[in-house]
A = this chain, B = another copy of it.
Amino acid sequence: MHPSDVLSIGQLASRTGLAVSAIRYYETQGLVRPTRNDGGQRRFRRSDIRRLSFVRIAQQFGFTIEQIAEQLQLLPESRTPTKGDWSKISLVFRAELDARIETLTKLRDNLDGCIGCGCLSLKKCRLYNPDDTARRKGSGPRYLMGDTPESNSS
């Protein structure tokens, strides 16, 4: 076989389940930094499979490419990441995740108090924009549950 310590973009694609075009895009975003061979074609390291798998998982959780890129900064560029490197980064990741799940759960429980219970007393609702679920920045409104204390509708 070929020097199996490097992968072509097509091989990496089939190993990760990503589209070739997606991997090229990720390169522009700094998620991977392949080298080039003499013909100018990309050559990836085996450890890039893991890198991109991490990207896939993080996306499942609603992280943006930018956030994922930040996390990946924690991995060493020069050498192949070790167990310890991955453990460190996944701790950060896991903490974020826990926070996210907790927020989601809290929101759900609050919702029960607002609409779920049937009382519909929106005035009691204190669900103010937690702003940490997967929302775009720069868009979307500021508060939740429009009823303000002064208004007494039904």
Contacts and interface: CB of A to CB of B under 8 A. Distances in A.
Interface residues of A, number: 62
Interface in A135-154: 135, 140-148, 151, 153-154
A57 B111 contact: yes
Nearest to A111: B57
Contacts of A114: 57
A101 interface: yes
A33 interface: no
B98 A101 contact: no
Contact of A94 (B17, B108, B130): B108
B134 A62 contact: yes
A74 to B, nearest CB: 13
Q: Which 8 pairs show the lowest CB-CB distances between chains A and B?
A: A16-B146, A17-B143, A15-B146, A17-B141, A87-B118, A90-B115, A18-B141, A53-B145
25 contacts: A15-B147, A16-B141, A19-B141, A49-B146, A49-B153, A52-B146, A53-B122, A56-B144, A57-B145, A59-B140, A60-B107, A60-B130, A62-B134, A84-B118, A86-B118, A87-B115, A87-B118, A90-B111, A93-B111, A97-B111, A98-B108, A100-B104, A101-B101, A101-B108, A104-B104
